């Protein structure tokens, strides 16, 4: 294999050699119960106690927030005297899980929206977290935990690993309002496939009927499976969901090849097949050079005029064209070996893969990232 191709493709060949027919996955790994979901929370607050790394006077949002907070606490301060560098304005985000109860805690993320240099060592002041309906569902407060570090020097040298303007507070928010969750409608459950597929939906229905009885489940479409609650689970639908999660379903992976030019990574999955094809690969390089020449004629009595005469040189190099016969490959490992034999870089291989798909020789979807 040509050394220009990263080791990614070589690892792909070895790993995908184990790829076989469709395997069985647990239903819990393929579906979510309709109605059981997280809800995003958002809030605005300030972080105090910073060691001179907060927002400066060019970002007055934090100072205005501090003045407003002090007024609510009964402290009157002249705005012209406020020169804060140990305070930063931040946005606080979190996710309220399904069935979360009042009084339980959740993790939150804090990120600067001003020009603070670092949030390390700061403390988040009490912040209200609201949902999309503008109702308050949690209250956040606590010590900031940053994961990055930052160093500097008088000569301008600087070392930074990770981000110091975004941090987390584990269990930094307390839930104050619950979100009602309903997952049983008209005596049935709805399972939403994370990746819609008619084949997987049909297999899921067959597996559920085999486990719980014929006619228990049916598919509304490629992404929804409806399960009627059997008589023995009428009073305990939670037990029904627990039983459904353990059911194994045969899954057929979609044939897809993903090429990332940014990371130069090639990943293939599913039932990828390759038909015989002829590939001609060669580069055409055109180099245009401008070498202007100054012309100063020796005319009598100074009548001549100095001029710049353009001179252009064009070099064309077609490179070496290589004709390759791609044999048929029925297994994914054979496809990886055949493509690796071309000796192309991931950037060049992306174009070849797309051309093979257009020609009908590659039976897979090609995704270029």
- Print burial letters for 338-353: b (CB count within 10 Å at least 16), e (below 16): bbbebbbebeebbebb
**CB of 33 closer than 8 Å to CB of 237:** no
**CB of 90 closer than 8 Å to CB of 168:** no
In the predicted model, is pLDDT for residue 3 greater than 50?
Answer: no
Burial class (CB in 10 A: 0-12, 13-18, 19+), 135: exposed
- Element at 350 (helix H, strand E): helix 346-359
Q: Residue 173: its pLDDT value, please?
A: 95
187 shares its domain with 246: yes
pTM: 0.66
193 shares its domain with 244: yes
- Element at 316 (helix H, strand E): strand 312-317
| Higher pLDDT, residue 134 or 323 | 134
51 shares its domain with 116: yes
How do residues 176-229 score in pLDDT, each as one tens digit?
A: 999 988 888 888 999 999 988 898 999 999 999 999 999 999 999 999 999 999
In the predicted model, is pLDDT for residue 158 greater than 60?
Answer: no
Q: Residue 369: its pLDDT value, please?
A: 72
Residue at which a domain ends, from 236, 251, 266: 251
In the predicted model, is pLDDT for residue 68 greater than 80?
Answer: yes
194 shares its domain with 131: no
Residue at which a domain ends, from 212, 233, 251: 251
Q: Residue 295: its pLDDT value, please?
A: 66
| Higher pLDDT, residue 87 or 349 | 87
298 shares its domain with 217: no
Q: Residue 154: its pLDDT value, please?
A: 45
358 shares its domain with 259: yes
265 shares its domain with 189: no
Region of residue 99 (phi > 0: left; psi between -120 and 50: alpha; otherwise: beta): left
Number of helical H runs and strand E runs in the chain = 6, 25
347 shares its domain with 280: yes
Q: Residue 283: its pLDDT value, please?
A: 55
Confidence class of residue 16 from pLDDT cuts 50, 70 and 90?
Answer: very low
Q: How far out from the chain centre does Cα 35 lie?
A: 24
Neighbours of 73 (CB within 10 A): 7
Q: Residue 92: its pLDDT value, please?
A: 96
| Higher pLDDT, residue 304 or 64 | 64
Confidence class of residue 115 from pLDDT cuts 50, 70 and 90?
Answer: confident
Helix axes 237-245, 198-212, angle to 10 degrees: 120
Task: Compute the distance between CA of residue 220 and CA of residue 208 in angstroms, rounded to an integer.
Answer: 15
Q: Residue 9: its pLDDT value, please?
A: 44
Q: Residue 309: its pLDDT value, please?
A: 67
Q: Region 104-131: what's the mean pLDDT?
A: 92
265 shares its domain with 359: yes
The four Cα atoms 356, 359, 361, 366 give a dihedral, to 10 degrees, of: 50
Structural domains of the chain, count:
3
Residue at which a domain ends, from 251, 266, 285: 251
261 shares its domain with 164: no
263 shares its domain with 307: yes
Burial class (CB in 10 A: 0-12, 13-18, 19+), 292: exposed
Q: Region 2-24: what's the mean pLDDT?
A: 45
Q: Residue 257: its pLDDT value, please?
A: 79
Scanning the structure block, which residue is given the tokens 């606590």? 142
187 shares its domain with 109: no
Domain with 321, as residue range(s), is 1-21+254-369
How do residues 338-362 score in pLDDT, each as one tens digit?
A: 666 666 666 677 777 777 778 777 7
Task: Compute the distance between CA of residue 23 and CA of residue 360 in angstroms, rounded to an integer.
Answer: 27
CA 19 → CA 23, 132, 328, 332, 336, distances in Å? 10, 44, 18, 7, 12
In the predicted model, is pLDDT for residue 133 greater than 70?
Answer: yes
Q: Residue 15: its pLDDT value, please?
A: 41
**CB of 150 closer than 8 Å to CB of 164:** yes
Task: Compute the distance between CA of residue 194 and CA of residue 283 in angstroms, rounded to an integer.
Answer: 43
Q: Mean pLDDT in the chain?
A: 78
How do residues 273-317 score in pLDDT, each as one tens digit?
A: 777 777 766 654 545 565 676 666 665 655 666 666 666 665 655
Confidence class of residue 157 from pLDDT cuts 50, 70 and 90?
Answer: very low
Q: Residue 20: its pLDDT value, please?
A: 44
Q: Residue 10: its pLDDT value, please?
A: 41
Q: What is the CATH number of the domain that holds 194?
A: 3.30.1360
Q: Residue 14: its pLDDT value, please?
A: 39
């Amino acid at each position: 294999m040509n050394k220009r191709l990263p080791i990614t493709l070589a690892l792909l060949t070895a790993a995908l050699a184990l790829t076989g027919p469709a395997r069985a996955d647990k239903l819990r790994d393929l579906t979510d119960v309709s109605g059981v979901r997280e809800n995003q929370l958002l809030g605005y607050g300030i972080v105090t106690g910073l060691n001179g790394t907060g927002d400066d006077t060019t970002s007055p949002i934090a100072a205005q927030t501090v003045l407003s907070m002090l007024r609510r606490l009964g402290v009157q301060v002249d705005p012209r005297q406020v020169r804060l560098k140990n305070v930063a304005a931040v946005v606080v985000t979190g996710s309220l899980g399904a069935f979360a109860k009042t009084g339980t805690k959740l993790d939150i993320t804090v990120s600067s929206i001003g020009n603070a240099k670092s949030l390390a060592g700061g403390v988040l002041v009490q912040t209200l977290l609201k949902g999309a309906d503008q109702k308050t569902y949690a209250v956040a407060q606590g010590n900031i935990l940053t994961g990055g570090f930052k160093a500097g020097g008088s000569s301008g040298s600087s070392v930074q690993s990770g981000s110091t303007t975004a941090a987390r507070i584990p269990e930094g928010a307390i839930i104050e309002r619950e979100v009602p969750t309903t997952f049983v409608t008209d005596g049935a459950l709805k399972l939403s496939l994370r990746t819609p597929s008619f084949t997987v939906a049909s297999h899921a229905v067959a597996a559920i009927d085999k486990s719980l009885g014929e006619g228990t489940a049916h598919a509304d479409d490629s992404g929804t499976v409806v399960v009627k609650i059997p008589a023995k689970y009428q009073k305990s639908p939670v037990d029904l969901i627990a039983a459904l999660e353990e059911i194994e379903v045969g899954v057929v992976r979609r044939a897809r090849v993903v090429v990332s030019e940014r990371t130069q990574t090639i990943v293939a999955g599913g039932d990828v097949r390759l038909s015989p094809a002829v590939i001609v690969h060669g580069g055409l390089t055109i180099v245009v050079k401008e070498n202007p020449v100054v012309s100063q004629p020796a005319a009598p009595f100074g009548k001549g005029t100095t001029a710049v005469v353009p001179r252009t040189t064009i070099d064309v190099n077609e490179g070496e064209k290589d004709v390759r016969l791609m044999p048929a490959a029925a297994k994914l490992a054979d496809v990886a070996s055949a493509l690796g034999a071309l000796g192309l870089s991931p950037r060049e291989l992306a174009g070849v893969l797309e051309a093979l798909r257009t020609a009908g020789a590659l039976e897979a979807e090609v995704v270029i990232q």
